[in-house]
Amino acid sequence: MAALADPDRTGRAEAIARAALAAALALPAERAAALAPDTPLFGAMPEMDSMSVASVLAEIEERAGIVIDDDAPLGEAFASFGALTRFIAARLPA
């Protein structure tokens, strides 16, 4: 799990998470910029439903060049912006 502490990897993952949420949910720039690690996502953001989760996943895959498997723990990943960042960081290619 050492990779998760890599600040560069975390930074890339956070940028991907922010851009994917902004694109998939059509967030205004100021709301995308205001996303912080403790910002809650699923159940808290009005734009976020299970359909938009599918769009966010697709955007993450396109930006990160990865495929997120079917049984990934999405409930956990979409709990907060920080959780989504960690979810992506763990799947980024080196």
Partner 1 sequence: MDGFDLRIIDAGGERLPCVVRGPGSARARLLIVPPLFEEMNRTRRLLARLGNALAEAGIATVLPDLPGTGDHEGGTEAMDWARWRAAVAALAAALGAAATLAVRGGALLDDAAGARPRYRLAPVRGAALLRDLLRARAASDAEAGAGISVARLEARLAAGEAIEAAGHVLSPALAAALRAASPAPGRSGDRTAMLDDLPGGDIVLGGPAVWRSAEPAPAEELALARALAADIAQWLASR
Closest distance between partner 1 and the C-beta of residue 11, in Å? Answer: 15
Contact 52, 24 (CB under 8 A): yes
Does residue 66 bind partner 1 (CB under 8 A)? Answer: no
| Tokens describing residue 51 | 């359909």
Does residue 19 bind partner 1 (CB under 8 A)? Answer: yes
Does residue 25 bind partner 1 (CB under 8 A)? Answer: yes
Does residue 26 bind partner 1 (CB under 8 A)? Answer: yes
Token pair 């990897």 is found at 9
In Å, how far from its chain's centre is CA 15? 9
Q: From residue 45 to residue 64, what is the string marking binding to partner 1 with x (rule CB under 8 A)? A: ----xxx-xxx-xxx-xxx-
Amino acid at 18: R
Binding site for partner 1 (CB under 8 A): 19, 23-26, 28, 49-51, 53-55, 57-59, 61-63, 65, 67, 70-71
